[in-house]
Structure 1
């Protein structure tokens, strides 16, 4: 047997030893001088060639060149790998408890104290920078806005240039427009009177209040308000549609208040000539405008208002109508520019003799050149249903 074969056999025997066999010391072969050096040199070269051929034949076991073979482990490592005692399985509660606090690794919720410190510091810096960025953007945005007027106005705004017409009192149901009550039952019309009283509270200025009336000017068609002043709204001019009279609901002659929605900077274009009135305008309103032309042309600067029954039967049942204090909204209340103390002008519509026990459909409309009208869309007008028993 040559030295190469002897060396390979000796190597295979050593690798195949168990943990017990490896603890047994084999008697070494004692070689001296040149024979010993020759044996070691040849055995080393043959072992290198054998290792190269062994690992080159099977490419799937290429990872074994990096990993440690089981046969190369010590006795203690082999024992710990195959015979160590396994931990018993944990319940869900124990796993949760271990996750919250692991005494072996000293981790809280899966992180050590150092890890928690680093992540908290990171998020503190991140959200601080984010808050500073938002504050800078908000400050820049506020610098570009005017507190007294909107950035987008009239045609550039979402509201547009067509003011809506509203009425008071409003029914409890938002989608409803029916005013129904019994004239001889105070409990049935108490709601409507209370609604009007609450709505008109802001129009009653407290003379004892500090600063009351300082920004108010008594306006007239010949005396518009100075710059920075607002026109007063005289609540006494609505009589008999006043709170002291119960707004005439107890007399079965109810009062309804009309108002135009405020649009910043909007100026009405008046029908201030009796020569160019629209054909759809009611005849009684045309006659009223002609009378005002003969009386005083200054009174023609008005956003006119007309209320009438929608159908022929409604026109017969509605009876005569009185408009207080004027038959429209005076032009000196416009434009609205967010003046301090500004109040929208009101028109009190007094139904003097409505037919009882009948549901009356009423349409009230505002008249100006730049107020568009569409009955089906409810633009430029308002629909009201009244029933007095």
Structure 2
């Protein structure tokens, strides 16, 4: 068989191969090969075997697509598809996938049709490749980015979102939808508010307004002092009234509830050195309070010396224990107060005087709370330093001492103790 007779068959075969490969490449590139298989009608076993065989053959030949397309685009003459036979008359070898016809089989003249199919396949593949070049390199499973809208389009979309006259929707919802969702949230929050109110009522019914459920964290009591105008630092010059007048005013305000007239009107005289127990009364009944008169503080009362010793360089301070409801300090023994010089030396601090005593009398305990102990005034211990060495900075610490008292806790510097600095200038 001559070369001219084999050329049409070769062209037809290559044309079909290109068309099939273009389709296969198209589906494979987009991961849609399964759609091609699903569209195939049901086949018999023999047809299925034939289909799989042909599919394997097509996949094997698809690797030669680029060489085939290059040949088509260069419009190579049919003679270039085959090589010259050898001098010994050996069988011709063709460049491409050549399947010779059977002996005696003639090939009909289909050059025009083959050329048309060839041109169509080349155009299809060329268009597909152009699409590949023009399309951005996005993965097929990812959505392509939307084109950026202009400002006019954005405003139009916003207006349509706020009110759509076609569907009569406001912000994407109809009147019925809005009414239903508002009703739902009103019902939801009304239910939550009711449940919260019920829980609070149940909790309040279990809590007494007069007695705390737990008060272990406030035992033993802490300690506080007055005055504390500038923190816990007392520094003044005895000859300069402006340097100590604010301390005097603070002490005067602090002692106002302790005035003798007020104490006599509101409180009663109690027996000393014993607890004033009033547990036999009803829980809500008002409790009486023992008198603590200001005059008991003597030199630190502000009555004999309105300057509380500050004008003479002999300052007074007041020490008191924090109130703890129901607390019985000392377990029958009064809690006493001691003050020492931590820095500066005891010789510079000198002797210390306490008024009315250096301890807290038991008759002011227990404390029954603000609602029942209406006129209660906490007992105080006045501490005066009459022999201070002037112009010497001192660090003074006062402590509570007694049974059940903790005064050395590293976590709380006010638990059972108070530390302050003291510096008095001379005349």
Structure 1 and Structure 2 fold alike (TM over 0.5): yes
Matched, 1:168 2:226: yes
Q: CA deviation at 1:352?
A: 1.0
Listed one character per residue, the Cα deviations across residues 148-172 of structure 1 (whole Å, up to 9, x for unaligned) are 010013xxx322x211121111143
Say if 1:100 and 1:108, in contact at 8 Å, map to a contact too: yes
Residue ranges of structure 1 left out of the alignment (5+ in a row) = 1-55, 63-86, 273-300
| Separation in 2, partners of 1:186, 1:305 | 30
Q: Which residue of 2 aligns with 1:179?
A: 234
Give the aligned CA root-mean-square deviation in angstroms.
2.8
Residue ranges of structure 2 left out of the alignment (5+ in a row) = 1-34, 42-148, 279-286
Q: Which residue of 2 aligns with 1:332?
A: 363
Q: Which residue of 2 aligns with 1:373?
A: 407
| Separation in 2, partners of 1:170, 1:123 | 54
SS at match of 2:247: helix
Listed one character per residue, the Cα deviations across residues 150-207 of structure 1 (whole Å, up to 9, x for unaligned) are 0013xxx322x2111211111434xxx2111111112211222222233333434875
Q: 1:252 aligns with which of 307, 313, 317?
A: 313
Say if 2:276 and 2:365, in contact at 8 Å, map to a contact too: no
Q: CA deviation at 1:265?
A: 1.9
| Separation in 1, partners of 2:154, 2:376 | 69
Listed one character per residue, the Cα deviations across residues 26-48 of structure 1 (whole Å, up to 9, x for unaligned) are xxxxxxxxxxxxxxxxxxxxxxx
TM-score of the aligned structures, taking structure 1 as reference length: 0.63
| Separation in 2, partners of 1:305, 1:89 | 80
SS at match of 1:158: helix
Q: Which residue of 2 aligns with 1:302?
A: 334
Q: CA deviation at 1:128?
A: 0.8
Say if 2:260 and 2:295, in contact at 8 Å, map to a contact too: no
Q: Which residue of 2 aligns with 1:28?
A: none
Q: Which residue of 1 aligns with 2:181?
A: 119
Say if 1:375 and 1:381, in contact at 8 Å, map to a contact too: no
For the pair shown, the structure with the greater C-alpha radius of gyration is 2
Tell me the matched-pair count. Answer: 269
Listed one character per residue, the Cα deviations across residues 78-107 of structure 1 (whole Å, up to 9, x for unaligned) are xxxxxxxxx998443333333222222222
Say if 2:234 and 2:421, in contact at 8 Å, map to a contact too: yes
Matched, 1:97 2:159: yes
| Separation in 2, partners of 1:264, 1:88 | 72
Inter-CA distance 250–96: structure 2 relative to 1 (3 Å threshold):
farther
| Separation in 2, partners of 1:108, 1:205 | 75
Matched, 1:359 2:393: yes
TM-score of the aligned structures, taking structure 2 as reference length: 0.57
